[in-house]
């Protein structure tokens, strides 16, 4: 089989020929059909995860079919359509694992970071961490749900999202565009904040009712003019400045959810926090329950993420495009 491998921090992606692995007890072998290209994959290439294990096959937005099962894998069978997220495995018995919060388990293993991921034709997975894909989702459109969709959905859930909420989405990359689709599917309203004026059409086509140009408008004033401010702000790009500019644009009791990690600190005024009872939270990907709910929501609403399919052989090129931030939608590697 073909596998795209990163041998060390800052190394180029290399395509290798490998033997497909065999699933051990409790494992399944997935024939990968599609794997999304996440910003996390670029961070992995740039050596920004101290806990990463090199050489490693990146990729944690996996959609495919069970090829082979090991012993004791419960209800999974060859031919089942499945997905695998960044949550490769967890301890299974700590407080977080026992409360549907295994994404915070201290023993968590990350697909495509500490374990080989989906930039290859076959990937091993722990049966207990694989999700069934609803019939209505095709592989290429399901892939971006496995991290971008899941991360947004879980962030909204932890921010206490309710239908009719006004949600401001900072940035219109992979996470941002999934944010618009998911919020609209759940009955929320959306404003997009972006530094690129040319993204306005795309934002409105996806369902945003407002577009705020961060280069020419004050983010907080524009948000407050939106019937008193945003109930939730989803901060997706790894840049602190727009987060700090937008924070005072939260409505009373509003919550900003930090999804992209800036290099520097995020400073907010204590008075903005206290006097409006506003909250600033961060949120990682999501649990298995979050993932099931994300997939069902997408299937029920016939959601179509904007995907740009690319062959596995172009994995290096895909990460380069991610670095140059020139992508409209989500790059998805498809296997031949």
* Binding window for Zn ion (CB under 5 A); candidates: 4-12, 67-75, 147-155, 267-275: 147-155
Q: For Zn ion, which residue of 62, 147, 167, 193 counts as binding (CB under 5 A)?
A: 147
Q: What is the 3-state secondary structure (H, E, C) of 158-194?
A: HCCCCCCCEEEEECCCHHHHHHHHHHHHCCCEEEEEE
Q: What is the 3-state secondary structure (H, E, C) of 259-315?
A: CCCCCCCCCCCHHHHHHCCCEEEECCCCCHHHHHHHHHHHHHCCCCCCEEEEEHHHH
Q: For residues 144 and 137, give the distance between their C-alpha atoms in angstroms, rounded to a whole number.
A: 11
In the beta sheet, which residues pair with residue 256? 233, 280
Question: What's the min distance (Å) between Cβ of 333 and Zn ion?
Answer: 14
Q: Which is nearer to Zn ion, 38 or 250 (CB)?
A: 38
Question: What's the min distance (Å) between Cβ of 102 and Zn ion?
Answer: 6
Pull the structure tokens for residue 272.
């903005």
Q: Which is nearer to Zn ion, 93 or 197 (CB)?
A: 93
Q: Which is nearer to Zn ion, 38 or 142 (CB)?
A: 38
- Closest C-alpha to 6, from 43, 34, 32: 43
Number of residues that bind Zn ion (CB under 5 A): 8
Say whether residue 45 binds Zn ion (CB under 5 A): no
Q: For residues 206 and 129, give the distance between their C-alpha atoms in angstroms, rounded to a whole number.
A: 31
* Binding window for Zn ion (CB under 5 A); candidates: 31-39, 169-177, 188-196, 213-221: 31-39
Q: For residues 126 and 275, give the distance between their C-alpha atoms in angstroms, rounded to a whole number.
A: 47
Per DSSP bridges, beta strands 27-36 and 122-126 are antiparallel
Q: Which is nearer to Zn ion, 171 or 229 (CB)?
A: 171
Task: Spell out, one character per residue from 98 to 137, where the chain touches Zn ion: x when CB under 5 A holds, - when not.
Answer: -------x--------------------------------
Q: For residues 3 and 21, give the distance between their C-alpha atoms in angstroms, rounded to a whole number.
A: 12
Task: Spell out, one character per residue from 58 to 97, where the chain touches Zn ion: x when CB under 5 A holds, - when not.
Answer: --------------------------------xx--x--x
Measured over the CA atoms of residue 50, residue 55, residue 58 and residue 63, the dihedral's sign is negative
Question: What's the min distance (Å) between Cβ of 86 and Zn ion?
Answer: 6
Question: What's the min distance (Å) between Cβ of 108 and Zn ion?
Answer: 7
- Three-state DSSP class for residue 126: strand
Q: Which is nearer to Zn ion, 40 or 188 (CB)?
A: 40
212-271 residues in contact with Zn ion (CB under 5 A) are none
Q: Which is nearer to Zn ion, 111 or 194 (CB)?
A: 111
Q: Which is nearer to Zn ion, 23 or 174 (CB)?
A: 174
Say whether residue 38 binds Zn ion (CB under 5 A): yes
* Binding window for Zn ion (CB under 5 A); candidates: 12-20, 35-43, 118-126, 209-217: 35-43
Q: Which is nearer to Zn ion, 105 or 318 (CB)?
A: 105
Q: CB–CB of 253/165 below 8 Å?
A: no
Cβ neighbours for 229, distance < 8 A, ≥ 6 positions apart: 166, 223, 249, 250, 251, 252, 254
Q: For Zn ion, which residue of 3, 4, 32, 40 counts as binding (CB under 5 A)?
A: 40
Q: Which residue is listed with tokens 């949120």?
A: 283
Question: What's the min distance (Å) between Cβ of 94 and Zn ion?
Answer: 3
List residues binding Zn ion (CB under 5 A).
Answer: 38, 40, 90-91, 94, 97, 105, 147
């Amino acid at each position: 089989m073909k596998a795209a491998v990163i041998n060390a921090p800052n190394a180029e992606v290399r395509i290798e020929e490998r033997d497909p692995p065999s699933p051990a007890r409790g494992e399944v072998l997935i024939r990968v059909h599609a794997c999304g290209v996440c910003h996390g994959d670029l961070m992995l290439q740039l050596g920004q995860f101290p806990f990463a294990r090199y050489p490693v096959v990146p990729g944690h937005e996996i959609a495919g079919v069970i090829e082979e099962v090991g012993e004791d894998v419960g209800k999974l069978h060859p031919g089942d359509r499945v997905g695998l997220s960044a949550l490769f495995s967890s301890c299974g018995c700590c407080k977080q694992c026992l409360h549907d919060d295994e994404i915070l388990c201290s023993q968590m293993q990350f697909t495509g970071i500490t374990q080989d991921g989906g930039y290859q034709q076959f990937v091993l997975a722990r049966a207990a961490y694989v999700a069934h894909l609803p019939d209505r989702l095709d592989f290429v459109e399901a892939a971006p749900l496995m991290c971008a969709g899941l991360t947004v959905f879980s962030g909204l859930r932890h921010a206490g999202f309710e239908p009719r909420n006004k949600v401001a989405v900072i940035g219109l990359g992979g996470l941002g565009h999934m944010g618009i689709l998911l919020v609209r599917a759940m009955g929320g309203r959306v404003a997009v904040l972006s530094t690129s004026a040319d993204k306005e059409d795309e934002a409105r086509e996806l369902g945003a009712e407002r577009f705020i140009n961060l280069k020419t408008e004050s983010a907080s004033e524009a948000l407050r003019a939106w019937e008193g401010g945003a109930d939730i702000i989803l901060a997706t790009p790894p840049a602190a400045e727009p987060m700090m500019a937008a924070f005072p644009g939260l409505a009373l009791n509003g919550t900003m959810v930090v999804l992209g990690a800036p290099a520097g600190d995020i400073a907010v005024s204590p008075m903005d926090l206290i006097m409006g009872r506003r909250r600033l939270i961060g949120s990682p990907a999501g649990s298995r329950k979050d993932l099931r709910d994300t997939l069902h929501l997408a299937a029920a609403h016939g959601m179509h993420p904007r995907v740009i399919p690319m062959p596995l052989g172009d994995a290096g090129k895909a990460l380069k495009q991610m670095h140059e931030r020139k992508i409209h939608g989500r790059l998805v590697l498809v296997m031949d």
